[in-house]
Amino acid sequence: MLARPRPIVIVILLALLAYAIALPFFGGAFALKFAARVMITGIFVISLDLLIGVTGLVSFGHALYFGLGAYSLYFISPASAAANGFLAIPFAMLLAGIVALIVGSVVVLTKGFYFIMVTLAFGQMGFSLFFDTKIAGGTDGAYINVRPIFSIGSQQLLNFSNRTAFFYFCLAALVLSYIFLLWLVRTPFGRVLQGIKHNEARMSALGFNTYAYKLASYVIAGAMAGFAGVLFAAIDGYVAPELLGWRESGLAIMMVVLGGAGTLYGPLLGAILYSMVEETLKSSSELTAIFSLVMNGATAKWLGGIVANSWSMALGFFLIAAVLAAPKGIAGFIEKFASEAKRSKAREIKPLLETRERAKAMQLEVENLMRAFGGLVAVNGVSVKFPPNKVHGIIGPNGAGKTTFINVLSGALKPTQGSIRLESEEIGGKKPHAVARRGLGRSYQRTNVLLPFTARENCALAAQAQFPSPFRFSNKWRRNEEEQAVEDALKAAGIAPERADMKASNLSHGEQRQLEIAMLIASGAKLLLLDEPLAGMGPEETGRVTALLRELAADHTIVLIEHDMDAIFAAADTLTVLVEGKLLAHGTPEEIRNNMAVREAYLGEWGQEGKS
């Protein structure tokens, strides 16, 4: 998870800040303007990193909001007077934010490749709206004749016509934007965004409405880009449709990747590096100076002229070399050389009871449930009741519809027919996060934890799902309850304290499966659906997890699919046998063992083994 920046990063950023603060004292007008442009671009690209690097949404239409921000300064400026900055900036952010909300509500439905293309298309839609119509000068763009002034009443506080004042305003805006994002990604809200990037299905199954989170991230990033746009329009006092176009969006992605996505400071460095490389490649004299270090003057001059003449081609080659040589960008280098992050300190926690207190869990009742895929009926008219505080096993040969059954129960698939009642509430057809909110948690056949996060962070995200206030920005609220839930879950699932702060990707397979159960406990689910929790475990681990499941039944209802027959017959209170999508039998392990139909249909081989 994104942590506080490393000391080396803070040093670099402070050095850049000091340089920027000093720049107006020795830099000329051109340097100030160039630096202001880079800083505004910096705000734009870190807002894009919130989408790409933090939430995992590769938006190729982010310039739409940048351009709208820029155009809003034109819209709000009187023909030959200054706009009030106190109005212009909120107006720009509001306009960009509202458009982001409308566009976002559609684009966030899509994932991966579709998301890239759909955001690109919407960006182009915005571009053509300004390019093809006569709004704000159409193709030619429009001039903003007077720069904005910040005033309250007749009191003028700040005038953007003053280059130095404008420069410092941009610097302050960048610093505040960076600190804002740094804070945002470390709030409970931001942690969920990071979880979505790595495993959206898991986050949804934990009870997070991932659509709403992604949309919120999209709107925040859009409003920030609008903020950058309104400042950008104030540099030259000129806006053109190209500001919304796909090239601007593409260049912003370049800078994010060049700097290192998902680090926030990386894209900032990327924007600086990109602007400097572009500026150097455009200038034949600077190129000549660089080339003459390694060759004679005349050749250097000739080569410098050629490169500067086709600078965008040279830039293209530079970008290709950069992406091939440093896929993680500048930040990748910095992170590699910096020391390993210190482990977070273990906090003092209250001692836990050794045995779980009994508490009534939830009952699940399924009636005449059917799920078909086209002509194939995977679950066919199953009716069964899972009473609370028991361990219920579901068994059946491969292809019996067990996983489909669980997917319908957890909301991952809609039932074709029938009803599912959790306690007395109908949950059939509800979305996974809505089902999870009601107290039903699930695990997956393939281990499905958030690999880049530590075990503790995984559980903390799950615990966060317990207190149903989705958009939380405070780290303090409910902190103690959550930490208690995390420690309880880690301990209950048997994860050793010294392993809790290791990345999940470094845990053993068995530990990852235990972590998955720990996440379910931490999420406060009262009914656990486990899809083969024992798969791939050795006998010793199997024994440990089986004992854990029995223990958990004190305050949970457990429904699990399992192939390990010895383990499930020993652990379960009831067994449900599915064959070809139909319920073949339901009863205690003893009843199932003695059921002739089950033995014929399925258990034949095992029955003999078991007896021997």
Partner 1 sequence: MDLVLIQLLNGVQYGLLIFLAASGLTLVFGIMGVINLSHGSFYMLGAYGALTLTQFTGDIFLSLALGVPLAFLFGVIIEWLFIRHLYDRDHLQQVLLTFALILIFNEAQKLLWGSYPHSVPVPGYLQGGVKISGLLTYPYYRIAVAAFCVALALAMMFVIQKTRIGRIIRAGESNREMVEALGIDSRLLFRFVFAAGVALAATAGIVASPLESVYPGIGEPVLIISFVVVVIGGIGSIKGAFVGALLIGVADALGKVYFPAFSSSVVYALMAAVLIARPGGLFGRAA
Q: State both tokens at 327.
A: 């896929």
Interface stretch with partner 1, choices 113-121, 140-148, 155-163, 390-398 (CB under 8 A): 113-121
Q: Which is nearer to partner 1, 297 or 316 (CB)?
A: 316
Asked whether the beta carbons of 323 and 261 are under 8 A apart, the reply is no
CA 67 to chain centroid: 25
DSSP label at 136?
Answer: G
Q: Which residue has the tokens 């910095």?
A: 334
Q: How far is the CB of 49 from partner 1 (least distance, A)?
A: 11
Can residue 330 be called a binding residue for partner 1 (CB under 8 A)? no
Can residue 145 be called a binding residue for partner 1 (CB under 8 A)? no
Can residue 319 be called a binding residue for partner 1 (CB under 8 A)? yes
Q: Which is nearer to partner 1, 79 or 324 (CB)?
A: 324
Q: How far is the CB of 225 from partner 1 (least distance, A)?
A: 18
Q: How far is the CB of 432 from partner 1 (least distance, A)?
A: 15
317, 333, 373, 473: residue in contact with partner 1 (rule CB under 8 A): 317
Can residue 403 be called a binding residue for partner 1 (CB under 8 A)? no
Asked whether the beta carbons of 207 and 437 are under 8 A apart, the reply is yes
Q: Which is nearer to partner 1, 108 or 230 (CB)?
A: 108
Can residue 600 be called a binding residue for partner 1 (CB under 8 A)? no
Can residue 114 be called a binding residue for partner 1 (CB under 8 A)? yes
Residue 354 neighbours by CB distance under 10 Å: 7
Can residue 505 be called a binding residue for partner 1 (CB under 8 A)? no
Interface stretch with partner 1, choices 71-79, 125-133, 282-290, 472-480 (CB under 8 A): 125-133
Q: How far is the CB of 89 from partner 1 (least distance, A)?
A: 28
327, 538, 539, 610: residue in contact with partner 1 (rule CB under 8 A): 327
- Mapped onto helix, strand or coil, the DSSP state of residue 609 is helix
Alpha helices (H) in 419-564, listed in sequence order? 432-437, 455-464, 479-492, 509-522, 539-552
Q: Which residue has the tokens 């040093």?
A: 11
Tell how strand 425-426 and strand 417-422 pair up: antiparallel
How are the residues of the chain apportioned to helix, strand and coil, as percentages rounded to the nearest 5?
A: 60, 10, 30
Helix (H) or strand (E) holding 298: helix 297-309
Q: Which is nearer to partner 1, 52 or 567 (CB)?
A: 52
Long-range contacts of range 337-341, CB-CB < 8 Å, 24 or more positions apart? Answer: 337/8, 338/6, 338/7, 338/8, 338/9, 339/6, 341/3, 341/6
15, 18, 128, 333: residue in contact with partner 1 (rule CB under 8 A): 128
Can residue 261 be called a binding residue for partner 1 (CB under 8 A)? yes
Asked whether the CA dihedral 438, 439, 444, 445 is positive or negative, the reply is negative
**Residues 20-59: x/- map of binding to partner 1 (CB under 8 A)?**
--------------------------------x-----x-
Q: Which is nearer to partner 1, 57 or 171 (CB)?
A: 57
Distance in angstroms (rounded) separating the CA atoms of residues 44 and 581: 53
Interface stretch with partner 1, choices 73-81, 123-131, 288-296, 498-506 (CB under 8 A): 123-131
Q: Which is nearer to partner 1, 56 or 510 (CB)?
A: 56
Helix (H) or strand (E) holding 238: strand 238-239
Q: Which is nearer to partner 1, 3 or 320 (CB)?
A: 320
Residues 6 or more apart from 185 whose CB is under 8 A from it? 2, 50, 54, 191, 193, 194, 264
Q: How far is the CB of 246 from partner 1 (least distance, A)?
A: 7
Distance in angstroms (rounded) separating the CA atoms of residues 478 and 214: 23
Can residue 572 be called a binding residue for partner 1 (CB under 8 A)? no
Q: State both tokens at 503.
A: 């990345």
- Number of residues interacting with partner 1: please give it, by CB under 8 A: 41
10, 22, 81, 112: residue in contact with partner 1 (rule CB under 8 A): 112
Q: Where does residue 339 fall: left (phi above 0), alpha (psi -120 to 50 degrees), or beta otherwise?
A: beta
22, 106, 295, 376: residue in contact with partner 1 (rule CB under 8 A): 106
Residue ranges that bind partner 1, judged by CB under 8 A: 52, 58, 60, 106, 109-114, 116-118, 120-122, 124-125, 128-129, 132-133, 246, 250, 253-254, 256-258, 261, 310, 312-313, 315-317, 319-320, 323-324, 327
